Structures are given as C-alpha cells and as structure tokens.
C-alpha cells in the first residue's frame, strides 16, 4: 500500500494511492486524480529525521574521501527543510555547486530502543524517497553537513508517498537514479550501502529511542551533477516511485 499526504479543500490529509492510473482515495471514500492533488511532504509532525553522509563507497571516492569512514556520519534535519512531490526548491544565486542526492528513507513504525540488526526491519513501517540537495560552497571542509546547507527551507524534497515495508522484499536490492531535465546523472543500488537500513536502525537505537514517524535518510550513491535554477530533477527508487522537484531562483 502507498500512503500520501496532500492538501485538499483547505485541509492537510493522508490518502491512499490506488491503481495504475494513480487515483487518490480520500478518507471520506472520494477519489481524485493524482494530477489534481497538491502534494505535501509525507512527514509526521514532530518526527525526528536522522540523515547519513558518506554511506556509499563509490560516492566517497568521487568526493576524495576514504571508501569507508571510521564512524558513520550522522546529522539531524529540521522539518522546515522538507518539500513535497512536484514542489519548488530555492537555488541560491551563489550555489553553483548544488547537486541532487537521491536517498532511500526508512520510516519507523514503533518505538525502537536497543534493537538488534536481525530484528531492526521489524520496526520499519515503510519507505520513501528523499532528494537531500548538497551545496558544496556551503559545506564545511567540503563535506561536513551544517544548518546552512542541510536545513535550508524546502531543500529536501521527499515523497511522493510512503510504501509499506511489506511491499519491499529487500530494501538492500533497489536501484537508485536521478535525472536532471531528462538526463540520468546518478545511478546506483542500495546493495552498495556501507551501512544497511537494518544496521542504521540498530545503531541509532543503541543511543536514542526511535519513535513512530521518525525518518532515516540512508545516503546517496555516486554521481555529482551541478544544477541551475529552472532545472527539473527526478529522483527514482525501484519499488517506490519517482519524486519530482523544480529548482527556482532563491
């Protein structure tokens, strides 16, 4: 099942995505066409977001780093940074090294504390897609995440929907790709992640209680492509769908 969050007649509601023709089933039983929806980020209010950097060896080499870091690079993201499917992201005039980063997002379904890797995925209720834009001019030491880049308003498109975990047989066997204006600029597989989704859930739960709705952005493969205002970016993950975003002048 796919669940999406939209704005409809002045209200924010969760809906079910049905059928190949992309109909949205409203809570009252009414159906509307997907193209008639105003998509919102499928994020629970108050949910925590943990993001992982440098979790693909090929991307690490591309950036000039060691293939594997001694410790995982984890940072937090605020709710202001998210924008829904088909939304706009401001591209700063001096952000000439702004590039998309397609990432698998694991969403926690029940409280998780000190869970093992073997049981970790039982605590994941679903998956979605994020495009966690990087602006290299703003990063410290070329990669270290900071609020100026990783928590900017509307710079992390997410969605379009959440796919139930039961519909994803193996989160470590999904193709990932990004297109800019119809040209593929990024391609990889979740099989190449250094820390798997299960390992990340287990690792994080060893120091913090993960709560329902919390999100874990699991990193991005190689493929650095600098974008400009006016570009349309599509982030795809096999089994989940395609997330569209439009870059506009800041």
What does the pLDDT look like over 185-207, one tens digit per residue? 999 999 999 999 999 999 999 99
Tell me the residue range of the domain where 168 lies: 44-249
Same domain, 121 and 133: yes
pLDDT at 144: 75
**Domains in the chain, number:** 2
d(CA 30, CA 41): 21
Task: Please list, in sequence order, all residues whose beta carbon lies within 8 angstroms of the beta carbon of residue 219, skipping any fewer than 6 positions away.
Answer: 52, 53, 54, 55, 56, 59, 103, 193, 194, 195
Q: Which residue reads 């029940």 in tokens?
A: 110
d(CA 169, CA 219): 20
Same domain, 79 and 1: no
pLDDT at 142: 61
Same domain, 155 and 186: yes
pTM, entire model: 0.95
d(CA 129, CA 15): 17
Same domain, 153 and 33: no
Q: What residues of the chain score a pLDDT lower than 70?
A: 21, 142-143
């Amino acid at each position: 099942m796919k669940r999406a969050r939209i704005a409809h007649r002045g209200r924010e509601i969760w809906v079910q995505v049905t059928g190949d023709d992309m109909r949205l089933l409203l809570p009252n039983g009414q159906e509307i066409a997907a193209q008639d929806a105003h998509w919102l980020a499928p994020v629970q209010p108050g949910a925590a977001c943990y993001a992982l950097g440098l979790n693909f060896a090929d991307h690490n080499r591309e950036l000039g780093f060691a293939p594997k870091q001694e410790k995982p690079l984890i940072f937090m993201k605020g709710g202001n940074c998210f924008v829904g499917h088909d939304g706009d992201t401001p591209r700063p005039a001096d952000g000439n090294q702004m590039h998309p980063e397609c990432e698998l997002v694991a969403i926690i379904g029940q409280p998780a504390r000190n869970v093992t890797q073997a049981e970790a995925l039982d605590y994941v209720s679903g998956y979605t897609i994020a495009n966690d834009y990087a602006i290299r001019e703003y990063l410290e030491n070329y990669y270290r995440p900071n609020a100026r880049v990783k928590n900017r308003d509307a710079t992390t498109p997410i969605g379009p929907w959440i796919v139930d975990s039961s519909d994803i047989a193996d989160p470590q066997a999904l193709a990932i790709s990004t297109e800019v204006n119809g040209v593929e600029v990024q391609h990889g597989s979740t099989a190449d992640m250094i820390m798997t989704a299960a390992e990340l859930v287990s690792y994080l739960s060893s120091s913090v209680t993960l709560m329902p709705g919390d999100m874990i952005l699991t990193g991005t493969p190689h493929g650095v492509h600098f974008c400009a205002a006016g570009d349309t970016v599509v982030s795809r993950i096999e089994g989940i769908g395609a997330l569209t975003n439009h870059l506009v002048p800041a």
